Homo-oligomer: A and B are copies of this chain.
Amino acid sequence: TLIALLAGDGIGPEVTAQARRVLEALAPDLVFEEGAVGGAAYRTQGHPLPPETLALAKRSDAVLFGAVGDPAFDALERAMRPEQAILGLRKGLGLFANLRPAKLFAGLEDASALKPEIARKIDLVIVRELTGDVYFGDKGRGLTRTGLREGHDLMRYDEVEVARIARVGFETARTRRHKLLSVDKANVLETSQLWRDVVNEVARDFPDVALSHMYVDNAAMQLVRDPGQFDTIVTGNLFGDILSDQASMCAGSIGMLPSAALGSSAQGMYEPIHGSAPDIAGQGKANPCAAILSAAMMLRHSLDRADVADRIETAVAAAILAGARTADLGGSMSTDAMGDAIMAQLG
């Protein structure tokens, strides 16, 4: 079983090292092969996603991804920026569904800006479409007929793209509380009206799931007012980008939350939702929990080892409950020490 380990920039290498350590202990048959990605790859190979990295990802069973982003490259044209590697991998591997669970870890009530009684009720997953929308539509800069500079990006979906992510939404809801909320902006966007129509059509195959719809502005409001009302949320690439980051922060713990990018095969890409955090990179104080929990998602979704995934998730929760805290959680543990604390809980 081949794992492509793409550690990337900033704290990426530090946090994925801990995830690898946990995996090596619990799944010794995994073979890791490292690939260069992001600013680190641009530095050595002149491209944020070198062909050999994409090839490695393609032949792997799963990709364990750290983080990309490096302020040194902020002035580069868009196509050469470190973050483009993520988009290239999603598209290149056909990973159209992003699963982002958000819940408050017991003991981390202080970390959320929300009142504890509200934050404690958060237990939701956002199913975000990843390979369409305004991210991948025709885009460019140009001049208007009167010579003004303009910029444009086409927001666009077709029914096949919507139906396949809707199915992931319904399937996910089925493993949870059988409630699916689809988020769009159908009062303004034609793309959203197609989205809503197709989601309603797919719903016929899932009579056991209660489907509802909400406008994105209202969803952003409700995620603050009463996040406990949500179970599974399915939405497009752009709205999902915004809402999933918002939901993670409601749960208080950007350093704690993993994500999975899935396609139509078992292959997937797994990454913490946090970024490369250049301000604390190399200092050994990053929180490795999100990377370790991403490894757990990988075991569950790509490697069919839900039992091992459960063990890891339980160990992380137990370590937190026992008081293990990196700096982002108000503590002073190093990245290594947090890894130790989790390993200790694994027994």
Contacts and interface: CB of A to CB of B under 8 A. Distances in A.
Interface of A: 78, 81, 83, 87, 113-115, 118, 134-135, 137, 139-141, 144, 148-160, 185-195, 197-198, 216-218, 220-226, 238-239, 241-246, 248-250, 254
Contacts of A243: 220
Contacts of A248: 221
8 contacts: A134-B189, A144-B158, A149-B197, A151-B189, A151-B191, A151-B195, A152-B155, A221-B254
Contacts of A242: 216-217, 220, 239, 242
B246 A221 contact: yes
Contact of A192 (B151, B192, B222, B223): B151
A155 B134 contact: yes
The secondary structure that dominates the A interface is: helix
A157 B158 CA distance: 24
Contacts of A83: 187-188
Q: Which 3 A-B pairs have the closest CB atoms?
A: A151-B194, A220-B246, A150-B158
A246 B245 contact: no
A226 B113 contact: yes
Given A114-B114, A150-B158, A151-B192, 4 more contacts: A148-B158, A148-B159, A150-B157, A153-B154
A16 B78 CA distance: 48
Contacts of A254: 221
A149 B196 CA distance: 13
A25 B180 CA distance: 49
A208 to B, nearest CB: 25
A113 B221 CA distance: 11
A156 B160 contact: no
Contacts of A195: 151
Contacts of A149: 158-159, 194, 197-198
A188 B87 contact: yes
Contacts of A244: 217
A188 B141 contact: no
A241 B114 CA distance: 22
